[in-house]
Structure 1
Amino acid sequence: MTIGSLLRQYRQEAGKTQRAWIGDIVSPSFYSKIEKNTTRISAQDLIEILRFNHIDLASFFSKLDYRSKSEDELKKNVISKSIDAYYKFDIDQLSAIKDAIAKSAVHNKEDLILKLNTLIYTANSSPEKLSLKEKQQLKNKFYNEDNLDQESLKNFCNYMYFFDFTSNLTITKKIFKKFSRSNDEKIQFLVLGILINMIGISIKHQSYENATQMIKMSKKVPTKPSTCFSKMVLFLLENLISYHYEPLQVYLDNCEMQVKQLSLIGMEKFSQHCQKLIDENTN
C-alpha cells in the first residue's frame, strides 16, 4: 500500500473530510493529489499530518508496502524523517522508525536499520554502543579513499563519530584537500558538516590545535545561503576555541548570541546541544 492510499484509508476510518484531516498543514487541492498518488508528500508534511491526527508513526510505516514500485521514494522519506528527528534529538521517534522498518517487508532493511542505529547512538551521545560488527559494516560502506564522491562524503559526515580520532582527522584532511575548491553547493555543505564534526571531536579530545586548523580550513569554503547554517555553527565553535586560549567575556557573549539565533530559527534542540557543549568547555 502506498503512502497516499494508506493516508486515505486512515482518514476514511476516522470519518474525516480531507480538509478536517489536514488542518492547515497543506492545501486541500495538494492533499487530494497525494491520496490519488499523483504527487509526493514531503517527510515533514507527512509526519505533521500523522501527529495532527494522533497516528502512531511505527504503526503507519508497518502497514506500507515497501515492495511496491515506490520503494525508493519510501526509503527517502524514512531517511528524511530520521534526519529530522535526529536534529531534534528525538530518540523516541528514531526508535519508532527503526521498529517500523524492522517489522516491514522493505528490501535490504538491514542497511536502514544500521543508519538508524548510528543516528540513535549519536543523538544519545553513546556511539560506543554500536557493535564491532556494525562499525566494520560502516567502514566497508562509507569510505573508499580511492573513489571519494558525494555519497561517501555524506556517509562519512553521518558516521565519523563511530571511528577513532586519528582516522577521522586523516580522512577529513584528505576530503578537504580534494573538495576545498569545489563549486558544488551540496559538496560545500557536506565538507562544512565534516569540518564541524571534526572540530567537535577535537574539542572533546582537548585537541584545540587541530580544532583551530579545522576552523581555518572552513573559512576557505564560501558563505552562501546553502552554507549559512553551517557558518553559524562554525562561528560559535570559533569563539568557543578562542575562549579556551583567552577567556574573555566577548567570546562567551558571541557563543550565547549564536545559541539564541539557532533557537530563533527553529533549531531549539540543536541550540540546547550547543549550549551544553559551551557549558562543558567553559566551566
Structure 2
Amino acid sequence: MIIMNRIGNKLKKLRHDLGLTQKEMAADVISVSFYSKVERGFHDIGAEELIQILEKHGVSFQEFFAEPKKNDLNTKKLNALVNDLVKAANEDNDIEITNITNQLMQIEPQTSVTESLVLQAKVISSTHSKDSLKKLSNTEKKKIKQLVFQKDIDENGYLRIVLISNVMEIYTIDELTFLIKSIIRRYQDVAKLEKEVLIALSVLMVNYIDFCLQQNKINLCKEPLNYLKKLPCIVELALTKILGKYYEDIIEGKKEEADKIKKVLTISGYKANVERMKR
C-alpha cells in the first residue's frame, strides 16, 4: 500500500506539473476511473502501463523516480505559502501577510509565479483601506494582469484563481466578468475538481458577487450564484455557501434573513468577513 501511495502521489504531482486532467494523463493507456484510483492509492499500476504513460508525456522512468530537486522543493514551499497567504487574507492578518511576502521574495530563482504572489500580497495587505489601489502603481497593476495570463500561472489553475480572487479591484467590471465567465466554463465538471480548487472557486464567486453589488450590477450575480450552489456541499465550502445565501437574500430584498446570517457569522468568529460584506 505504501508503494501504491508513493506512485499515486508522484503521478498526481507530475500531472499537476504538466497541467493535465486525469483523462489527459491516462492517455488511453488505462481507463480514467482506474487512473483516478491509482492516484488515490486504491489500485496498483503495472510497470508496463506506467512506462507507457510516462513515455506519452516525454518523461523517463528514471526521471519519474528521481529525488526532488531544488525546483521541486520550491514548488512545495510555494504551495504552502499560497495556502498561508489565503488563510492570512481571510483573517486580515497583516503581520502574517508581510511575513509571507518576505518569504516569497527570498525564493530563488524568482519566477513569474513568485513575482505575481508578491504583488498579490501587496494588494491583500492594503485592501482594508478605501484608497488601497493608490498604493499600487499603474505599472504594477498592468504587470499583475499580464501575470494572470502567463503560461506557468495558467497551468496552475489554483494559483490563477487565487490571484484573480484577490486582485479584482484592478479590473473593470467588463474585464472581470469576462474572466469569471471563462473560469466557470472551464470548471463546469465540479465533481472532478480537487478540494483546494473547489475552495478557491467558491471564494472567487463570493468576491465577484460582492464586487458586482458594489458596482450596482445585480444582473451579473445570477450566474456565479448558481455556480456556487452547484459546488458540492462539503464542510470546507460551508462559509462561502452561507455567504452566497446572504448575497442572494440581499438581492431578493430579504433584509431580515440577511441580517440573521450576518449575526450568526459574527457570533461564529467571522467578524472581519461581515465587516467587508455588502450592506
Aligned partner (choices 153, 164, 178) of residue 172 of structure 2: 164
Cα distance change on mapping 1:73 and 1:177 into 2, 3 Å: closer
Partners of 2:79 and 2:166 lie apart in 1 by: 16
Match of 2:242 in 1: 232
Cα distance change on mapping 1:112 and 1:213 into 2, 3 Å: closer
Cα distance change on mapping 1:81 and 1:140 into 2, 3 Å: same
Give the aligned length: 201
Instruction: Give the match's secondary structure for 1:206.
Output: coil
Match of 1:133 in 2: 139
Cα distance change on mapping 1:202 and 1:220 into 2, 3 Å: same
Shift of 1:164: 1.4
Match of 2:190 in 1: 182
Partners of 1:185 and 1:101 lie apart in 2 by: 25
Partners of 1:221 and 1:100 lie apart in 2 by: 33
Shift of 1:200: 0.8
Cα distance change on mapping 1:240 and 1:79 into 2, 3 Å: same
Match of 1:205 in 2: 215
Match of 2:127 in 1: 122
Partners of 2:150 and 2:126 lie apart in 1 by: 24
Cα distance change on mapping 1:76 and 1:208 into 2, 3 Å: same
Match of 1:192 in 2: 202
Cα distance change on mapping 1:207 and 1:175 into 2, 3 Å: same
Match of 2:109 in 1: 107
**Alpha carbons 1:143, 1:156 under 8 Å: kept:** no
**Alpha carbons 1:85, 1:91 under 8 Å: kept:** yes
Instruction: Give the match's secondary structure for 2:221.
Output: helix
Partners of 1:277 and 1:193 lie apart in 2 by: 13
Match of 1:43 in 2: none
Aligned partner (choices 75, 85, 90) of residue 88 of structure 2: 85
**Alpha carbons 2:89, 2:124 under 8 Å: kept:** yes
Shift of 1:217: 3.1
Cα distance change on mapping 1:236 and 1:258 into 2, 3 Å: farther
Amino acid at match of 2:257: V
Match of 1:272 in 2: 272
- Please, which runs of 5 or more residues in structure 2 have no aligned partner? 1-69
Instruction: Give the match's secondary structure for 1:219.
Output: helix
Amino acid at match of 1:119: I
1:6-50 deviation per Cα after TM superposition (whole angstroms, max 9, x unaligned): xxxxxxxxxxxxxxxxxxxxxxxxxxxxxxxxxxxxxxxxxxxxx
Partners of 2:107 and 2:257 lie apart in 1 by: 55
Cα distance change on mapping 1:148 and 1:208 into 2, 3 Å: farther
Shift of 1:192: 1.9
Partners of 2:250 and 2:265 lie apart in 1 by: 11
Match of 1:42 in 2: none
TM-score by length of 2: 0.60
Shift of 1:96: 4.0
**Alpha carbons 1:215, 1:234 under 8 Å: kept:** yes
Worse-superposed segment, 104-113 or 199-208: 104-113
Partners of 1:175 and 1:68 lie apart in 2 by: 28
Shift of 1:167: 0.7
**Alpha carbons 1:78, 1:97 under 8 Å: kept:** yes
- Superposition map of 1:135-154 within 5 A: 135-143=141-149, 150-151=157-158, 152-154=160-162
1:226-260 deviation per Cα after TM superposition (whole angstroms, max 9, x unaligned): 322321221222223233xx54x233223322443
Amino acid at match of 2:216: Q
**Alpha carbons 2:91, 2:272 under 8 Å: kept:** no
Match of 1:214 in 2: 224
